[in-house]
Structure formats: C-alpha cells, structure tokens
Structure 1
Amino acid sequence: MDIDEHQRWLVDFYKQRNWYDYSPFIHLNFLTEEVGELARAVRAIEIGRDHPGEAHKSSAVWEANLQEELADVLDQVLMIASQYDVDPQQLLQASQDKLTKRFHTEK
C-alpha cells in the first residue's frame, strides 16, 4: 500500500465513523495527543520507564508500540492534509525540495 492508497482508505474509515467531520483544529488536537504518545514510546526505548504502576515490558513490545504511535501520528497528518485537499505526495516532494534547497544537496 502506498501513501495515497492509505490516505484514501483512512478517509473512508473516518467517514464511516463520522470522525472525518471533525474540524482540522480537532484533528490537530488528536495529532498533539499522538505526538505525546510517540514521545512516551521513544522515551521508553531510549531511557526506559521507571513507573511503579506499570509492568515491565520487553524491548519488542516497546518497538511495536513505537511503530503504532508513528502510524497514529502519520494518520492524523494525512487526515489534516485531506481536509485541506493537500496531496500526500506533494508533502513528500515539498519536504525533499525544501531540504535540498536549504542545504544545497543533490536530489
């Protein structure tokens, strides 16, 4: 599945649950929540978790959690992009163009 296919699937999924109708502002809040969860996953991998209310988790569990949280962040970015009619391929190209121009690197 490529990013365009996933965005189409995601929009369909969100529309079926009436989640797509939430404003981009609400989706931005969801994105913020997901970034916090991603930060927690990265922290757990990098420096561990020392919380008495949590059971110890293996590195494999934390790695799976990292992937899940990265996907959640990506999904919210794709939702916001869809609501503003921004093609995800354009996002990828804009990122590459900006960095190439900024750092004068070859494409």
Structure 2
Amino acid sequence: MTIKEAQQKVDEWIKEYGVRYFSELTNMAVLTEEVGELARVMARQYGDQSFKEGEKLNLGEEMADVLWVLICLANQTGIDLTEELQRSFEKKTSRDSQRHRHNPKLSAKET
C-alpha cells in the first residue's frame, strides 16, 4: 500500500465507520497518547523497564496506531504525505548528505 492509498483508505474508513474525523486538536492529543503508548513498549522491550503482568509486546500495533492518527491529521489539514515525504528526503539530502558521514559518533564502534 502506498502512502497515498493509505490516506484514501483511512478517509474511506472514517466516512463509513467513524462518522466523522475528530477535531484536529483532539487528534493531536490522540497522536500524543499513541506516541506515549509506543514509547512505553519501546522502554520495556529495549530499555531498562520490564513488562508488567498482562502487557504484551505489540510494537507494530502501536506504530500503526501512530501512523493512523498522523494520516487522519494529514487528511484533515489537506496534506499530501507522499509529496511532503519526498520534500523531506530532498531537504535532508541537500542539508545532510555529508554531515553524517563525517560524524565521528556514528563511525565509532560500539563495545
């Protein structure tokens, strides 16, 4: 599925099952909540915390939830995420094409 197709599918789902989009401000709050849930799983899987009883490793599910709400916000605000992602690649390439190659922190081997 392309990003454009994902934006279309989310829009279709909202119109068929979701009644309407939540307000942009509500969706921003929901996005923050979803990022927090992703952070919790990351902290337990890759950080120093352990899973609580009943919690599960659902990293992909949490990432998909973040993406879903981000797509909702893009749809609501008229953003073409495919176009914006391409612009981001171009910006990062022109700005950072050599910067990371010359960063000694990135070339240092982990022990």
Q: TM-score range by the shorter chain?
A: 0.7 to 0.9
Aligned residue pairs, count: 96
Say if 2:42 is the partner of 1:49.
no
Match of 1:82 in 2: 75
Match of 1:7 in 2: 7
Provide the TM-score with structure 1 as the length reference: 0.78
- Higher relative contact order (CA closer than 8 Å, sequence separation 6+): 1
Larger Rg: 2
Structure 1 Cα separation of the partners of residues 66 and 84 of structure 2? 15
Identity of aligned residues (%): 36
Structure 2 Cα separation of the partners of residues 10 and 33 of structure 1? 19
Q: RMSD of aligned C-alpha atoms?
A: 1.8
Provide the TM-score with structure 2 as the length reference: 0.76
Cα deviation 1:57-105 (Å, max 9, x = unaligned)? 6xxx51xx11011111111111111111111111211221221122135
List structure 1 runs of 4+ shifted beyond 2 angstroms: none
In structure 2, which of residues 61, 77, 83 is the aligned counterpart of residue 68 of structure 1?
A: 61
Which one has the bigger helix percentage? 1
Unaligned runs of 5+ in 2: 99-111
